[in-house]
Amino acid sequence: MFRNQYDTDVTTWSPAGRLFQVEYAMEAVKQGSAAIGLRSKTHVVLGCVNKANSELSSHQKKIFKVDDHIGVAIAGLTADGRVLSRYMRNECINYSFTYESPLPVGRLVVQLADKAQVCTQRSWKRPYGVGLLVAGLDESGAHLYYNCPSGNYFEYQAFAIGSRSQAAKTYLERRFENFTDSSRDDLVKDAITAIRETLQGETLKSSICTIAVVGVGEPFHVLDQGTVQQIIDTFEIAAEQEDPATEPDAATGQEAATEQGTAADQGGSTDEGAAPMDI
Amino acid sequence: MKPIGKHSLLGASGEISDFQEILHYLDELILYDNMWDDGNSLGPKEVHSYLTRVMYNRRNKFNPLWNSLVLGGVKNGQKYLGTVSMIGVNFEDNHVATGFGNHLARPILRQEWHENLSFEDGVRLLEKCMRVLLYRDRSAVNKLQIAKITEDGVTISQPYSLKTYWEFSAFENPAQGAIGSW
């Protein structure tokens, strides 16, 4: 994307009908470290790559529990992500208090999307620079949604966001048809494998990734390092049998050219329900 | 008594105008719930909680809705029965009542209610309670309706009256054993 005279304000349209500031916000998501999500009929698994400022610092928290039945993984400006998580937690707890019942994740996601939309239509605000993978349960089962800075949201069977997410998406695209009936453990294994795809050859260890699960009868929780490392160890044993799955995607990963081309990418392949594309 | 949404029924005693106000709130609640159009719906538990919040908040402002509410419903095979008082006291039970019903009907229900009542037996049991209330509550009239809630929805019967017998000898001179008192 190149600088142009229509990209200063979020409230300025370009002649081609684009809001550049919003698109730049979506770029911020692509620069964040990867987060992936996948779901079966009864469980949703979120995973993310831990990024730390330096070897001395702790890594950034990218997965947040919103309620017993909802969790979120973020990519992009983590500060924005924290604020939105707080909003989501508030909404959930208020609903629980009034109705003594969990807030259906589909409704929370719409509220979140409307909140993001407001920031694309006020001259004194800026769009949130964070993409959220929302995992949750409602009456109809397990759901995974992706909330964009643009205020759009889509439901997915599996998805990946952030840097080098294309590698994970390719892996997920190959396997997603089996996810609906996957067992919880297989889903977790697939999540860790997808994370490994984004690492591009870096060794996969439990300190580099965080995995969280939510399911029918299983409240949202982050798996502890030990459990994750055990699963990783089972991979290494089977590693010789696996085909090398990674593709070099340094170029495609950034998807620099037509940003909306990427929306088509994401929407067309792993889209679960028919959802309107980003412009 | 009025059906609420697809799954619940609300009955009230007390100030009817306040009941109508509550129905107005619930209409709005159900409308917004339907507008989501997403396969989720408010069940009896949610409506009951909502009403508890409303009644309790009004009581805190010293401006109560003068009603005792009974909320029943069935959703996804789960049966629910609860009550909220005008001061926000709420609970669920297998049988609930308002006003005099708490004193006259509930003891009968405690004796005779059991998990496996058929619909007809249930109606007979309720009629027994209503008959006692009719005889003993001076503000009662001989007209009642029975509502049935199942997974398929709510039906409310037409009003009908109970057979009564007023010729008991004890009814003839009620003050006989209590001369001088009321």
How far apart are the C-alpha atoms of A26 and A259, rounded to whole Å?
9
The answer to whether residues A167 and A247 touch, using CB atoms and an 8 Å cutoff, is: yes
Residues 256 through 275 of chain A touching chain B, CB cutoff 8 Å: none
Model-level pTM? 0.84
Shortest Cα distance from B152 to chain A (angstroms)? 18
> Could you tell me how many CB contacts below 8 A there are between chain A and chain B?
35
> What pLDDT band is residue A261 in, cutting at 50, 70 and 90?
very low
CATH number at residue A40: 3.60.20.10
> What pLDDT band is residue B19 in, cutting at 50, 70 and 90?
very high
Shortest Cα distance from A107 to chain B (angstroms)? 8
Q: What residue of A is the nearest CA neighbor of B52?
A: A98
Treating both helix axes as pointing N-terminal to C-terminal, what angle do A105-118 and B16-36 enclose, rounded to 10 degrees?
80
Q: Do B42 and A99 touch (CB under 8 A)?
A: yes
* Residue A248 resides in a domain: no
Range of the domain at A155: 20-223
Average pLDDT (A23-43) is 94
* Residue A78 resides in a domain: yes
Q: Do B43 and A101 touch (CB under 8 A)?
A: yes
Q: Each residue of B132-168: pLDDT tens digit? A: 999 999 889 999 999 999 999 999 999 999 999 999 8
Average pLDDT (A135-143) is 92
Shortest Cα distance from B16 to chain A (angstroms)? 24
* Residue A257 resides in a domain: no
How far apart are the C-alpha atoms of A220 and B168, rounded to whole Å?
66
Q: Do A100 and B49 touch (CB under 8 A)?
A: yes
Q: What domains does chain B contain, in order, with CATH numbers?
A: 2-171 (3.60.20.10)
| Range of lowest pLDDT (A101-115, A166-180, A194-208, B112-126) | A194-208
How far apart are the C-alpha atoms of A212 and A73, rounded to whole Å?
9
B14: left (phi over 0), alpha (psi -120 to 50) or beta: left
B166 to each of A160, B106, B163, B179, how far by Cα in Å? 78, 23, 10, 22
Both tokens assigned to B102: 């708490």
Shortest Cα distance from B70 to chain A (angstroms)? 16
Strand partners, B71: B10, B82
* Residue A249 resides in a domain: no
* Residue A206 resides in a domain: yes
Q: What is the DSSP letter of B139?
A: T
- Minimum-distance CB partner of B36 among A97, A107, A140: A107
**Chain B residues within 8 A of A104 when measuring between CB atoms:** 38, 40
Q: Do A99 and B38 touch (CB under 8 A)?
A: no
* Residue A112 resides in a domain: yes
The count of domains in chain A is 1
Q: Do B38 and A104 touch (CB under 8 A)?
A: yes
How far apart are the C-alpha atoms of B46 and B26, rounded to whole Å?
11
* Residue A270 resides in a domain: no
- Minimum-distance CB partner of B39 among A101, A110, A139: A139
Q: Each residue of B33-75: pLDDT tens digit? A: 999 998 899 999 999 999 999 999 999 999 999 999 999 999 9
Which helix (H) or strand (E) element contains residue A233?
helix A225-238
* Residue A12 resides in a domain: no
A18 or B174, which is more confident? A18
Q: Do A138 and B40 touch (CB under 8 A)?
A: yes
Residue A92 burial class via C-beta count within 10 angstroms: exposed 0-12, middle 13-18, buried 19 and up: buried
Q: Do A101 and B49 touch (CB under 8 A)?
A: yes
